[in-house]
């Protein structure tokens, strides 16, 4: 943790403010598509959830550890497990490769199931994204941000 904690002359711990530049300690809060971020593994990857209010679609983008670049994966679908009012449901998002994704791989997955979009908006809904990257399963808690959806047109 270079620059974050140091010993003072009397043996106590002194903390300093993080540097103004971006470094490995910063945690991204918004994805490149202005969606909510989902941490996968120990920040090995991120997923970005974008909810299109108009169409009712939900899109997941698989991103790198910095939550900046797309990471195409060898998968045909992803799953969101959702629990609301004691009911458990499972939703599938199918691969919809971005133009830059290699043949047979995808970094973008989409669901047009209006029920998923609706359930994610409930305050007491608990959702978890499940996907495999390079043969390893990742699970990440979905914290859908309702804030700000009304302020922009996308």
State the pTM of this model: 0.76
User: Residue 50 domain-assigned?
Assistant: yes
User: Residue 4 domain-assigned?
Assistant: no
User: Residue 103 domain-assigned?
Assistant: yes
- Reference 78, options 40, 41, 131, 114; nearest CA is 131
Burial bucket for residue 151 (CB in 10 Å: 0-12, 13-18, 19+): exposed
- Domain with 78, as residue range(s), is 28-151
Helix, strand, or coil here: 13?
A: strand
User: Residue 20 domain-assigned?
Assistant: no
pLDDT digits (tens, 9 = 90+) for 89-128: 999 999 999 999 999 999 999 999 999 988 888 878 899 9
pLDDT given for residue 26 in this prediction: 60
User: Residue 12 domain-assigned?
Assistant: no
Number of domains the chain is built from: 1
Contact yes or no for 90/81 (Cβ under 8 A): yes
pLDDT digits (tens, 9 = 90+) for 46-89: 999 999 888 889 999 999 999 999 999 999 999 999 998 888 99
User: Residue 62 domain-assigned?
Assistant: yes
CATH of the domain at 105: 2.60.40
Q: CA–CA separation, 103 vs 30, rounded Å?
A: 28
Q: What are φ and ψ of residue 84, in 5° steps? A: -150, 130
């Amino acid at each position: 943790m270079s620059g974050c904690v140091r010993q003072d002359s009397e043996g106590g711990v002194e903390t300093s403010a993080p540097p103004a530049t971006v470094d490995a300690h910063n945690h991204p809060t918004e994805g490149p598509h202005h969606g909510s971020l989902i941490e996968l593994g120990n920040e090995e990857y991120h997923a970005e959830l974008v909810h299109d209010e108009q169409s009712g679609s939900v899109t997941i983008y698989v991103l790198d550890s910095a939550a900046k670049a797309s990471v195409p994966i060898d998968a045909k679908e992803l799953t969101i497990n959702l629990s609301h009012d004691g009911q458990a449901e499972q939703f599938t998002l199918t691969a919809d490769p971005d133009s830059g994704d290699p043949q047979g791989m995808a970094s973008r997955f989409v669901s047009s199931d209006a029920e998923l979009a609706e359930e994610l908006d409930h305050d007491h809904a608990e959702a978890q994204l499940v996907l495999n990257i390079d043969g390893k399963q990742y699970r990440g808690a979905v914290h859908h941000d309702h804030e700000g959806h009304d302020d922009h047109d996308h």
